[in-house]
Amino acid sequence: IFNLTPDAFVECLKLAIAWNRPLMLLGGGGYNHADSARCWTRITAVACGADISANQDIPDHRFYTEYSPAFDMRADAMLLQDENTQQHIDEMVSEIESHKLHH
């Protein structure tokens, strides 16, 4: 079982920021547009030196109904099957390590 929540991403980002090294954040999608928006809003806030509570209400806007039933920044963890194979993980780690050696 595998699941990343906005809280997990925020904690990872805080750790990366604490390294005090140049940092580039690249966005990605998600299976749920509202949860992706929640996540990237919180990540952007932390990157800008702020933080947004998971209890913060979503402001009214054109897509407000997409954020039901909670209408706040919370994106709860779900029990999802991890579809990453060990081979894929090993390849990704190897690729990352090869780039570390060159920089």
pLDDT value, residue 33: 86
pLDDT value, residue 102: 57
Type and span of the H or E element at 92: helix 86-101
Backbone angles phi, psi at 7, to 5 degrees: -60, -40
* 50 vs 103, higher pLDDT: 50
Q: Residues with Cβ < 8 Å from 70, sequence gap 6 or more?
A: none
CB of 58 within 8 A of CB of 71?
yes
pLDDT value, residue 36: 87
User: In angstroms, rounded to a whole number, what is the distance separating the alpha carbons of residues 73 and 88?
Assistant: 32
pLDDT tens by residue, 50-90:
988 888 999 999 999 999 888 998 887 777 777 788 999 89
* 1 vs 58, higher pLDDT: 58
Buried b (16+ CB within 10 A) or exposed e, 12-22: ebeeeeeeeee
User: In angstroms, rounded to a whole number, what is the distance separating the alpha carbons of residues 96 and 56?
Assistant: 36
